[in-house]
Structure 1
Amino acid sequence: MNSNYWSWDRFAEAFPIILEGLGTLVTVTISTFIFALLFGFVWTFLRRIKNKQINWVVTWVMEFIRSTPPLVQLFFIYYAWPVMPVIGVTLSGFTSAVIGLGIHFSTYIGEIYRSGIESVDVGQWEASTALNLSTWDKWRKIILPQAFPPTIPMLGNYFIILFKEVPITSTIGVQGILFMANSFGAQNWAYIEALTIVGLILLALSYPSAVLIKKLEVKMNTRFDKNAPIKIDKEVTQ
């Protein structure tokens, strides 16, 4: 059978093979997103350091990371990281994927956090000072509870974007759905069915997620109306 033409038999043969990589795709996506969420706080608080030199360096590094293709960053971490071989440490494809994509997306998430923090009304900062709260209590009880919820829809959008970027980790040996599709295509000289399955799986998972994020965004915008008065919880003063 000519492999240049569509074959439903090959499609049926490839589907369960490619589906074996779905678990890896989901694991890498969730692990990377958690890493990005945590590392995003690092960028946020580094940007808040009131030192022009430090702020300039942090901003430049973030812009450099955002301006560099994620694929190049993955190659650098996996193949060309100069320190690891010297000290006898090698990174697996999974670890390289989580670190590479995690740092890349953390630069965007850090900016989301920063916008959320800056959206907190100045009166809330003044109130926390007037209440003589410690720095920890101020952030935990007043600032973050108001800053974080409105950022959830934006974080959700980046989660979907990350989900669609994770398949490029097949280039460093992560055995996700794209890796399995390429392996099937190479063995059978038939890529069209395998890559079509990858596209369908990504669509089946990302589209419902996008709809859910859109509904969440509407809900959050309604709940956190800028015109609505902001009140400090009574527990804060206790």
Structure 2
Amino acid sequence: MMSHILAVEVDDPTMVDEEEIEGSPFWDWEFAFEAFPQMFMAFLEVTILVTVVGTLIAAVLGLVIAILIMVLPKPLAWIVRWAANFIRMTPIVVQLIFMFWAFLWLDALTIGIIVFGVHYATYMSEVYRAGIESVPKGQWEATTALSMPAARTWRKVVIPQALRSTIPSLGNYAISMFKDTPFLLVIGVAEMVTVAGQIGAPTFRYTEVYTIAGLLFLAASYPTAVLVNRLEKRLAYAH
């Protein structure tokens, strides 16, 4: 994991020849091609990893939170709801810094994945809750009439119907998580945008590296957004 820890060695800006900077072209293809491999590796090893694993954690934990709020006795449900609200209303940057210093035995990348997963789980729990509440009351009554166990009611009847209306929103939160990964900088994780800054700093060539970063974000988020929109339309039609 040490390859992902921020370790910037930037040349002294005063040592850069101003005439060389002013005379340089706006876009240097050679510099862009040299920067791309390192940025792409950071994109795969950090940005995508945090998004995929964080989304899986958020999707599962968010469902658990939503169900607990609905099935636990009111005092316990209130505690779960309060904890979820507290996490949701606290900036993710603050959570990253707090967890980094509170759990020094964990590496920064692991902390980032956990924080992103838990933070977005609180948002997804609200989406799940809305989906569960949208299940027709008759479905609940039918399971009661059939003496269906509670666990089977949730697994076979409620959750499948709730997911039909929640998957598009969950996809949108995954995209939001993907775009929030640059916040990992505060705990020293060198994700793609941070690596771009490191590469551009010695020569002040930021146009190429930040353009590449933007294109990589677009290349991943736009197809995901299109798939989410198509899925939403398909589920609405099926419903």
Q: TM class, shorter-chain normalised?
A: 0.7 to 0.9
Displacement of 1:183:
1.8
Displacement of 1:77:
0.7
How far apart are the structure 2 equivalents of 1:50 and 1:40? 15
Q: Which amino acid aligns with 1:168?
A: F
How far apart are the structure 2 equivalents of 1:6 and 1:78? 39
How far apart are the structure 1 equivalents of 2:180 and 2:121? 14
Q: In terms of mean alpha carbon deviation, does 180-189 or 129-138 score higher?
A: 180-189
What residue number does 1:232 align with? none
* Counterpart pick for 1:159 among 174, 181, 185: 174
What residue number does 1:6 align with? 26
**SS of alignment partner, residue 190 of structure 1:** coil
How far apart are the structure 2 equivalents of 1:171 and 1:193? 24
Asked whether 1:23 is paired with 2:44, we answer yes
Displacement of 1:5:
6.5
What residue number does 1:127 align with? 142
Aligned-residue identity in percent: 39
Listed as ranges, the gaps of 5+ residues in structure 2 are: 1-19
Q: In terms of mean alpha carbon deviation, does 97-106 or 8-17 score higher?
A: 8-17
- Residue by residue over 1:64-85, the C-alpha shift from the partner in whole angstroms, topping out at 9 and shown as x without a partner, is 2222211111111112x1xx45
Task: Give the TM-score normalised by the residue count of structure 1.
Answer: 0.83
How far apart are the structure 2 equivalents of 1:53 and 1:128? 27
What residue number does 2:15 align with? none
How far apart are the structure 2 equivalents of 1:193 and 1:201? 12
Matches within 5 A, 1:40-51: 40-49=62-71, 51=73
What residue number does 1:39 align with? 61
What residue number does 1:103 align with? 118
Contact 2:164 2:235 in 1 (8 A): yes
Q: Comparing both structures, which one devotes a greater share of its residues to helix?
A: 2
* Counterpart pick for 1:149 among 161, 164, 169: 164
Q: Which amino acid aligns with 1:7?
A: W
Displacement of 1:53:
3.3
Contact 1:32 1:99 in 2 (8 A): yes
**SS of alignment partner, residue 126 of structure 1:** helix
Q: CA RMSD in A?
A: 2.0
Displacement of 1:120:
0.7
Displacement of 1:178:
1.6
What residue number does 1:53 align with? 75
**SS of alignment partner, residue 133 of structure 1:** coil
Displacement of 1:28:
1.4
Q: Which amino acid aligns with 1:131?
A: L
